[in-house]
Every structure is written in C-alpha cells, then in structure tokens.
Amino acid sequence: MAVIEVEHLHKRYGQVTAVRDVSFQVEQGEIFGILGPNGAGKTTTVECLSGLRQADGGRVSVLGLDPVRQRDELRQVLGVQLQASGLPDKLRVREALELYASFYRQPADPVELMDRLGLAEKAGARYKKLSGGQQQRLAIALAMIGRPRAVVLDELTTGLDPHARRTTWELVEQVRDTGVTVLLVTHFMEEAERLCDRVALIDRGEVVAVDTPAGLAARAGQRQRMRFRPSAPLPEEVLRALPEVAELIWHGAVVEISGTGNLVHAVTAQLARAQIIAADLRVEQASLDDAFIALTGHTDAD
Ligand SMILES: Nc1ncnc2c1ncn2[C@@H]1O[C@H](COP(=O)(O)OP(=O)(O)OP(=O)(O)O)[C@@H](O)[C@H]1O
C-alpha cells in the first residue's frame, strides 16, 4: 500500500505558481527522495502533504488521511522536520525532546532516542551550543519522538561538513531500518544517489521523472562502462549479443564493455554462467547530475 499519494498537486502564492503539477506515490518502508534545484517547489510540496499548507488543486493522502481535514490525526503518525527548525536558543536537548514527547499519545522514550541518535552526551546542552550536525540529529530525534510511521526530512544535510553529512545519512538509514517510511527533500544529487530507493525529480513545479537513481541515469540514455580482467577466455559473441552491450574492446588483458540499461547485471550474469571471475572490476555509471541535465535540458545552477 502506498503510504503517501500525491495526485496533480497545484499551489500558487499570489502570482507565483510554486507547484504546477506534482504526482508521486511513496511505498511503505522506502526512502523516497524529492530532488530538484532551489525554487523547484520541493518545500511547498512537503508542506502541503504535512498539512502545513492547503493546496489549490489536486489530491493528497498520507497514511490514508487528508492532511488538511485530518491534521491532528496525521500529526500522531507523521514526523516532520522542516527547514530551519527554529528552536529557542536556550532550550536544552532533553527539554526539547520532553516537550515534543508531551504532544503525542505514545511517545518514544527521550533517553533511549538520545542514545540511539548519539545525543546522550549533549542531553543538558543548549540548542545554540550544538554543532550543525548535532542540531540536525536533534531535528531527526524530534521528528521521531512520536513513534511515527513515516517522516518528512527537508534539506537535512544543508550546511553540514562531509563527515557530519555521512553520519546523518547513516541515521536516516537506521530510521528506515526500523520500518519507518522516509520522504527526503534534497538538492544534493549525491545524497539522493546514496540514500534513496526512488527519487522524484522536480523542476519548476513539475515532476520530470520518478525512478530509482540508477533508473534515472539509464532513462537519460547515459552510457555505463565496466572494465575488468577476466580469469578465463570470454564468451565474446554471447556478450556482444546482449541488448545492453553497445561496445566491447580490449586494452591488453583488460576488457572494457560499455552500454546502457542494466549493463552490469546482464554482463555479470553471463560471467557467472561461464564461471569467469571479473578481477579488478571497475564500473563507471552516469550520475544523477548527468540525468538531471539530460532530463530537464539545463543544469542545477541554471
Ligand atoms: N510563502 C511564499 N510566498 C511567496 N512565494 C513563495 C513562498 N514560498 C515559496 N515561494 C516561491 O515558490 C517557489 C517554490 O518554492 P519552494 O520553497 O517550494 O521551493 P524549493 O524547491 O523547496 O526550494 P529551496 O530548495 O530553495 O527551498 C519559489 O519560486 C519560491 O520563491
């Protein structure tokens, strides 16, 4: 069953159309990314499905609830971390969690949550004394305090250094591993590629494509390339006949195979059948960056 369903969402702010026509479905237990450049309409979309804004058109259902008409019920099952959490500077970590816990019928234990998210040492620290990474961990903890079935995380790693970003990614994966569905808003291609099971690419208020990160790259017609040293003579004719394979060339003892679609899977399946080991295997795949440009006709920076 889809946990989040968005159909033909439309939202204007006066003359500005922030969301023109956005549709997607998020399935139970996945990390679903909404990826797009600044101003694409990502935040407006998640605010509409969190019940923080009313759409001008379209239909939204979250865990079977209407976010506007059933907002109170939705709050009990959907955890939301939005940009600029805006906690008072002097609030301490434990106090923030206890305060938020009081909003829920069956909250998680703040102490247990602080342990899990690596905040135990900072329980008594004031919000403004936390590092950027610690503030984001607290934001995740606050989104999780009501034991939600799904969470919305908006631009979670913006402003974090690479190490804190990686730690935050691991936490998001831990959240998903507890069975919670994650909707992640990001404008970092690398983040979507690394974390998301599926991604909706949004540009100028419209969905350009919804697919796995690899599927988006393949859909954009991007070439993939693999190189390896086969442990035994290759069944070259069989490999060349695969629809995914466009070219097979040798560089001494190393073979380079390029193509499209699910190239790596198709080739490695044939190698396994012939009991050939691909030593020093290197795979180069098109990135989401390439896919974004191919699918929208412009770069993120444009
Ligand atoms: N409260 C508002 N009033 C007027 N216009 C707004 C408002 N909020 C957003 N907009 C405009 O709507 C469009 C979409 O904004 P939105 O914040 O949803 O995009 P976004 O993809 O989340 O961008 P960012 O990554 O920069 O947050 C932008 O043109 C923005 O300027």
Cβ of residue 296 lying under 6 Å from some atom of ligand 1: no
The angle subtended at Cα 31 by Cα 301 and Cα 93, nearest 5°, is 90
Output the CA 19–ligand 1 centroid distance in Å: 9
Give the CA distances from residue 52 to residues 41, 49, 57, 58, 189, in Å, rounded to whole numbers and listed in that order. Answer: 14, 8, 15, 16, 26
Task: Say if residue 124's pLDDT is above 80.
Answer: yes
CA distance 197 to 203: 20
Q: What is the pLDDT of residue 118?
A: 86
Task: Say if residue 257's pLDDT is above 70.
Answer: yes
Query: Which three-class secondary structure state does DSSP give residue 221?
Result: coil
What tokens does 165 get?
Answer: 């970003």
Cβ of residue 37 lying under 6 Å from some atom of ligand 1: no
**pLDDT tens profile 34-74:** 998 888 999 999 999 999 999 999 999 999 999 999 999 99
Task: Say if residue 302's pLDDT is above 70.
Answer: no
CATH of span 2-212: 3.40.50.300
**pLDDT tens profile 91-118:** 999 999 999 999 898 899 999 999 988 8
Q: Is the dihedral of CA 18, 193, 184, 95 positive or negative?
A: negative
Q: What is the pLDDT of residue 222?
A: 66
Domain ranges of the chain: 2-212, 223-284
Output the CA 82–ligand 1 centroid distance in Å: 13
Cβ of residue 16 lying under 6 Å from some atom of ligand 1: yes
**pLDDT tens profile 260-280:** 878 899 999 999 999 999 999
Mean local confidence (pLDDT), 155-175: 85
**pLDDT tens profile 63-92:** 999 999 999 999 999 999 876 667 888 999
Closest C-alpha residue for ligand 1 atom 30? 39
